[in-house]
Structure 1
Amino acid sequence: MVDFKQILTEDNTEPNTEFLKQLRSKLPEFFTQDKYGIDKNGKEVVVEAGGFDIQKFQTSLSNHNVNEIVDGYTLNFVGKKYAELQVGKPTASVIIPDMNHNNEPKNAQSENIFLTGDNLNVLKHLQQAYTNSIDMIYLDPPYNTGSDGFVYNDNFDLSDEDLRNILNMSEDEINKIHLLNGRSSHSAWLTFMYPRLKIAQQLLKDSGIIFVSIDEHEYANLKLLLDHVFGENSYLGDVIRKTRSSANDTSNGFNQQHEYVFIYGKNARLSHIHGEIKDNSKYKNPDNDPSGAWVITDPSARSGGPNSSFQIVNPKNGHVDTPPAGRYWAFSRSTFDKWVEQGKVVFKDEVKEGQRGFFVKKYLYELKNEFNTVNSLFGTDNRFMNQAATKYLRDELFDGNDYFSSPKPVELIKNLVKYSTNQDSLILDFFAGSATTADAVMQLNAEDGGNRKWILNTLDEKTPDDSNASKAGYLTIDEIARERIKRSGKKIKKEHPDLGVHFDSGFKHYYIKEMNASTIDKIVDFDPNNIQLLTDDVVSEFSGNAVKLGKYYEKSDKDKVNPKFAKVVDTGATGENTILQTWLINDGYKLDVLVKTIELVHNNVHYVEDGSMIYIIDQFTQEDVEALLNIIGTHQLNVKTIIVFGYSFDFATMTSLKNNVKTALDGVRVEVRY
């Protein structure tokens, strides 16, 4: 539920808020009962949340013979308490649909999503509707090399008093927190990454897998952080990726040629990766064995004991075999005898010098799975190097122009997607950069007929003034990414002319932006109990007719008080479009939910059948109220909840709606949001 006024004026988030939320969902039986009261609007609300009963929990551990670990270590860094707070802190941002783009035929039916904006705000919105929904996440976060432009920027909307009271920080800790802003230290990087990975973990399905690229600068810290967030047991491995063949002279004489891709599962017991499909063409059945096709397998093993070291005599010619020197048979005598009876062991009629007198069959049905394993060194092939990625983006998509530095190889991401998803999986990348992940997913779908979908997010970061991208008219990074997706889709269709209408090369686009200052002032100052008619048009404050992108500051503005913007765009979104989209995802509806717009007398309402919700956002009249009540009362719509934007109703109309619903519509409730 999104109530803008409540988010702006009643934020009670604490560092453990999100942790307790997760704990309560998984172990509700160990929480005491919530206490309820009635607020000034007559609505039942929680006045005191139930607490965690640690004694009951410890008793349960003891009763079930669970040993508690008292030894161990924990990850700690300057900014950790603040990072934990950020996980549970609600976002005051809104989702502005790019109506001009989304209404194009190719995009209107697409299930792919591109989100432009700060990824922490994006993740907090996705958290409401996509928890336990993502099959695979790929991330290429800032490497914090010192030259990659990473600095930790935060508006730190908490006062020093808040830091003392909410986070229980000392003066020294408060000073260190402030020093993080604008820095690129290890602590600053961890503070930046922590809340993003925590929410990412919640978005993954229990069988989901996350891949994170990194180089030597933050390799050790990222491993500790991923262990902390996902659990040490969820570590599945890491891939070595060759980045270059050689380097110029270095001061220490060492040529660093690789980086890493960490692999973690949400649940190690359920998260599995798989390599290429095995080539089983060697399996034949020349003797019509009823057990099916087979190949000859090595009967020896490196380890064993007295039961697996014995003579085998060929009954046809008396040839005697023993295990090779230093090895054992891969079976016991009793197992061998059983295999002889079953026909799995075949004795040869003639035995040439140096040969065994028998062979053992390995049947096709005995294979544990149809896939090869994924080797940690598969990324050392030259096709995964940086120069291959740069060349592909420049020469095959952007007509010989270099618009993006250090893109990831599409072949690498395509392999990672192939190794961790099925044909209907949902893939997320919230450090999307040049949109390699979208390109890789589309290519793979074209190759294997899959219907994988993707959600990409990148920041509207300003391109440098002297860059090729800026000179070509790409003023923000997200523009390059979206153009790459469009060009990739065209290229794939050209290379695969037989692709049917099911192939999805389109995407829906949304901007995630903070509310502007004037909107916040109107919301904070508004008194819902004032019976005077609201004269300000609050709805239009949310329109997307002037979305500012590519925020930056002049070098002379050292205190960063006068932001400038690379461009301003008109998305075609009304304030009603923005409010509705923000409400929908935060009510648990995914971005592709079907919404019907119903015309009344003077205004419209929005209906979501899956959930029986009616949304009323824009101005509403008494005639509209009567028309809506008639539609619901005559069962033309199955409605359980009517959600209204409080700023759009005068006192009389709001009172009429509430009273009429209460008396005439049994089982329907009105929820007012401000």
Structure 2
Amino acid sequence: MISDNEKFNMQVKPNSAFLDELKAKLPEFFDCEGNFDLDKFKGQLEEHNINELKDGYQLNFIGKDYARRQAGERPSTVIVPDQEQNNVEGKDSKNLFFTGDNLEVLRHLQNNYAGKIDVIYIDPPYNTGNDDFVYPDTFEYSDEKIKEMFGIDDEQIKRLKSIQGKSSHSSWLTFMYPRLMLAKKLLSNNGIIFISLDDNEQANLRNLLNFLMGENNFIASMIVKRKSGPNNVGIIPSIHDYLLVYARDILQLGEDIGLPLKRKGYSNPDNDPRGPWTTMPLSANHVGPHFKITNPKNGKTYLPSAGRYWVFNEKEVEKRIKDGRIIFGKSGETAPVQKVFLSDRIAAGKKQKIGTIIENEGINNRGTKELEELLGNSKVFDTPKPSSLIKFILKIINNKNAIVLDFFAGSSTTADAVMQLNAEDGGNRKFIMVQLPEKTYTVNSDGKEVPTKGGKAAYEAGFKSIDEISRERIRRAVAKIKADNDLTLPKDFDGSFKHYRVVNPTKQTLEDIEDFDPDNTTLFTDMVDSFSSKGLDVAGDATGEQTILTTWLAKDGYSFDTDIKKIDFDGYEASLVEDSRLYIINNGWSSENTKALLNKIGTHQITVQTIVLFGYSFNIADLRELEIGLKQLDGNINLLKRY
């Protein structure tokens, strides 16, 4: 598990993530050993005379290779289920909340959520220099290892490390690059990412997104008004933020972006049984039919204006005149126009186009008042985004079943907005929130807890970390939604979440992993228990087996609510997932358990394609006995040993 991933990470290069993506898209440029054939690839480019790869625009910053390497690494953490939340309040919920570093969470989600996220909204640190950079994004390798990984000298290492902890552009880009790279892989083919930010990094983020997402997938740079008017700060005080919008694949997106059509502009003065209508021009400036249209009422004829053409041919025009879909003005005496019915446009999925300026939905004091109403204190969280902004975003994507990810959850405005909108329109959207457990206090030399500068109000309100605020906001938002929509709330309304903590193993566990010898005939350490909530010193009451299994299920592509059955093998319980994959994790496996397993498989009591076992729980003798027994069975069962 952790050991396997650490070994993999030691081999990761800055281009590993890119090569993995390239291999998935262009496997023909890789040989049988998985090596990229650069000459073959260059040959393809040269045939098309693409020389701009040498001389064209590139995005460069100090730390870029380090950021690229981070994007290719596997998680070095485990996923600890909060059994106290998940077995009670969140038992039937499909919503997810992760407490932990979002880079690690994004790494964990690469297998079970790749290509499944419809909307990503994030409001990342704005890099203003105001202590808003709290993520544990340090260079964790020794200087010698960094030299080896990147081929750089002492002076370059000094430059690289100099960006840490500063509000430099390079530091911010190094921080954002791997997170956005991994987020892109989670988006569905028609998925969209929305990112809020201000002028500090807007230009740099635009360049980074062009580089990672592709400039052709840019949709808009929207202006979000956050204040009703200017204050006295700066020469020209800023009253807006930006909302950058990019598609995963703009060709898959279609024309489905926009708000639901409004009835404004539609009427039914002639009591047409087809309902309210409006008129549209019958001509356009693209080349098309050009003929005379005759008004059957008075015989008057019309041609399109100079440089314009009719949008229908003669036969279709005649049909539509008889059907009353082409009229000669409301008086019947003017140039022909189309009669367009509101019902037809709704049925065709037409949307009300939006502009790039958001006037009212993003006003900051709305978010502050909203949080104060829920938590009773407006100062527990600085400048929370209003739920109206997130609801606006969710409305324009036109997907009531969207999976929505926010990996800078903050006060969980996004989760609140998802649930509000589901209550309003009967949608079945799901949210995934990720929030770092940033503490609201420090511990002084006397061991006394002292609130941080910005965390005083939250600490005094009983919140020891930001993620606690996030989860409590969701709970109180649910209570308000239920109170406000008591009679109209959908029966399948999901008003809760499953909670997971993404944490590092303890130093002692890592030392035990380092010292473990798989050839030993006896086991001296219960490695499983070191991954329990107690062993990891976190809340939640999870056993070590539950933590390991949850982490592996994500690794193997299973959802967090996948079907798990406990199977007894002569007193030893293992986990069978979706009737095909068996996980053997706990200590205590013996010859009797092997015999029981082989009997159940051989007599077709269970069907197993793959067995995954926790290597630290097996001595060499029991492991070999199991391997030999499986080989003797009919069928081909894959045995995976993980460390």
Report the TM-score, using the length of structure 1 for normalisation.
Answer: 0.85
Which AA in structure 2 matches 1:24?
Answer: K
Counting aligned pairs with the same residue, the percent is 40
The CA distance in 1 between the partners of 2:393 and 2:44, in whole Å, is 41
The aligned counterpart of 2:447 is none
The CA distance in 2 between the partners of 1:528 and 1:485, in whole Å, is 45
The aligned counterpart of 1:259 is 241
The CA distance in 1 between the partners of 2:484 and 2:331, in whole Å, is 55
CA contact (8 A) 1:345 1:359 kept: yes
The CA distance in 2 between the partners of 1:424 and 1:514, in whole Å, is 33
The aligned counterpart of 1:28 is 27
Measured after TM superposition, the shift of residue 317 of structure 1 is 4.7
Q: Secondary structure at the match of 2:219?
A: strand
- The structure-2 alpha-carbon separation of the partners of 1:179 and 1:268, relative to structure 1 and needing over 3 Å to count, comes to same
Give aligned pairs, total: 621
- The answer to whether residue 475 in structure 2 is matched with residue 486 in structure 1 is yes
Candidates 393, 403, 406, aligned match of 2:371: 393
The aligned counterpart of 1:269 is 251
- The structure-2 alpha-carbon separation of the partners of 1:670 and 1:165, relative to structure 1 and needing over 3 Å to count, comes to same
- The structure-2 alpha-carbon separation of the partners of 1:626 and 1:149, relative to structure 1 and needing over 3 Å to count, comes to same
Residues 336-364 of structure 1 deviation map (CA, whole Å, 9 limit, x = unaligned): 7862564154458988xxx7365543456
The aligned counterpart of 1:5 is 3
The CA distance in 1 between the partners of 2:433 and 2:481, in whole Å, is 19
Which AA in structure 1 matches 2:359?
Answer: T
Measured after TM superposition, the shift of residue 581 of structure 1 is 1.0
Candidates 170, 181, 197, aligned match of 2:164: 181
Q: Secondary structure at the match of 2:221?
A: strand
Q: Secondary structure at the match of 1:166?
A: helix
Which AA in structure 1 matches 2:145?
Answer: D
The CA distance in 2 between the partners of 1:497 and 1:655, in whole Å, is 60
The aligned counterpart of 1:613 is 582
Q: Which consecutive residues of structure 2, in runs of 5 or more, have no partner in the other structure?
A: 442-450
The aligned counterpart of 1:114 is 97
- The structure-2 alpha-carbon separation of the partners of 1:109 and 1:66, relative to structure 1 and needing over 3 Å to count, comes to farther
Which AA in structure 2 matches 1:109?
Answer: D
1:81-96 matched pairs, under 5 angstroms:
81-96=65-80
Candidates 591, 597, 602, aligned match of 1:628: 597
Which AA in structure 1 matches 2:60?
Answer: N
Which AA in structure 2 matches 1:629?
Answer: L
Measured after TM superposition, the shift of residue 399 of structure 1 is 2.9
CA contact (8 A) 2:527 2:616 kept: yes
Measured after TM superposition, the shift of residue 277 of structure 1 is 1.9
CA contact (8 A) 2:119 2:404 kept: yes
The CA distance in 2 between the partners of 1:452 and 1:341, in whole Å, is 43
Q: Secondary structure at the match of 2:57?
A: coil
Measured after TM superposition, the shift of residue 625 of structure 1 is 1.9
The aligned counterpart of 1:380 is 359
- The structure-2 alpha-carbon separation of the partners of 1:547 and 1:236, relative to structure 1 and needing over 3 Å to count, comes to same
The CA distance in 2 between the partners of 1:672 and 1:358, in whole Å, is 75
Q: What's the RMSD between the two structures over aligned residues?
A: 3.0
- The structure-2 alpha-carbon separation of the partners of 1:574 and 1:150, relative to structure 1 and needing over 3 Å to count, comes to same
Q: Secondary structure at the match of 2:404?
A: strand
The aligned counterpart of 2:445 is none
Residues 186-219 of structure 1 deviation map (CA, whole Å, 9 limit, x = unaligned): 1000000000000000011111100000001111
The aligned counterpart of 1:371 is 351
The CA distance in 2 between the partners of 1:348 and 1:265, in whole Å, is 41
The aligned counterpart of 1:446 is 423
1:40-79 matched pairs, under 5 angstroms:
50-60=34-44, 69-70=52-53, 71-79=55-63
1:58-457 matched pairs, under 5 angstroms:
58-60=42-44, 69-70=52-53, 71-104=55-88, 106-150=89-133, 153-252=136-235, 254-272=236-254, 273-279=256-262, 282=266, 286=270, 294-299=277-282, 317=298, 328=306, 330-332=308-310, 335=313, 339-340=317-318, 342-343=320-321, 344-347=325-328, 356=334, 358-362=336-340, 365=344, 369-377=349-357, 379-381=358-360, 383-395=361-373, 397-400=374-377, 402-457=379-434
Deviates more, 1:385-394 or 1:173-182: 173-182
Measured after TM superposition, the shift of residue 329 of structure 1 is 7.5
- The structure-2 alpha-carbon separation of the partners of 1:360 and 1:672, relative to structure 1 and needing over 3 Å to count, comes to closer
The CA distance in 2 between the partners of 1:143 and 1:88, in whole Å, is 25
Deviates more, 1:508-517 or 1:607-616: 607-616
The CA distance in 1 between the partners of 2:622 and 2:375, in whole Å, is 56
The CA distance in 2 between the partners of 1:603 and 1:669, in whole Å, is 21
- The structure-2 alpha-carbon separation of the partners of 1:55 and 1:317, relative to structure 1 and needing over 3 Å to count, comes to same
Measured after TM superposition, the shift of residue 616 of structure 1 is 3.2
Which AA in structure 2 matches 1:200?
Answer: A
Q: Secondary structure at the match of 2:229?
A: coil
Measured after TM superposition, the shift of residue 231 of structure 1 is 0.5
Residues 255-294 of structure 1 deviation map (CA, whole Å, 9 limit, x = unaligned): 21000111100001012552222236836595979x9975
Q: Which consecutive residues of structure 1, in runs of 5 or more, have no partner in the other structure?
A: 35-49, 549-568
The CA distance in 2 between the partners of 1:129 and 1:154, in whole Å, is 24
The aligned counterpart of 2:534 is 545
The CA distance in 2 between the partners of 1:8 and 1:334, in whole Å, is 65
Q: Secondary structure at the match of 1:478?
A: helix
- The structure-2 alpha-carbon separation of the partners of 1:313 and 1:92, relative to structure 1 and needing over 3 Å to count, comes to closer
The CA distance in 2 between the partners of 1:135 and 1:155, in whole Å, is 31
CA contact (8 A) 1:304 1:328 kept: no
Report the TM-score, using the length of structure 2 for normalisation.
Answer: 0.89
Measured after TM superposition, the shift of residue 235 of structure 1 is 0.4
Deviates more, 1:185-194 or 1:368-377: 368-377
- The answer to whether residue 639 in structure 2 is matched with residue 662 in structure 1 is no
Residues 607-659 of structure 1 deviation map (CA, whole Å, 9 limit, x = unaligned): 11254333333321222222222222211111012111122123332222122
Q: Secondary structure at the match of 2:279?
A: strand
Deviates more, 1:465-474 or 1:405-414: 465-474
The CA distance in 2 between the partners of 1:275 and 1:349, in whole Å, is 29
The CA distance in 2 between the partners of 1:8 and 1:366, in whole Å, is 55
Deviates more, 1:333-342 or 1:651-660: 333-342
- The structure-2 alpha-carbon separation of the partners of 1:574 and 1:151, relative to structure 1 and needing over 3 Å to count, comes to closer
The CA distance in 2 between the partners of 1:234 and 1:348, in whole Å, is 41
Q: Secondary structure at the match of 1:263?
A: strand
- The answer to whether residue 499 in structure 2 is matched with residue 509 in structure 1 is yes
Which AA in structure 2 matches 1:579?
Answer: I
1:577-616 matched pairs, under 5 angstroms:
577-609=546-578, 611-616=580-585
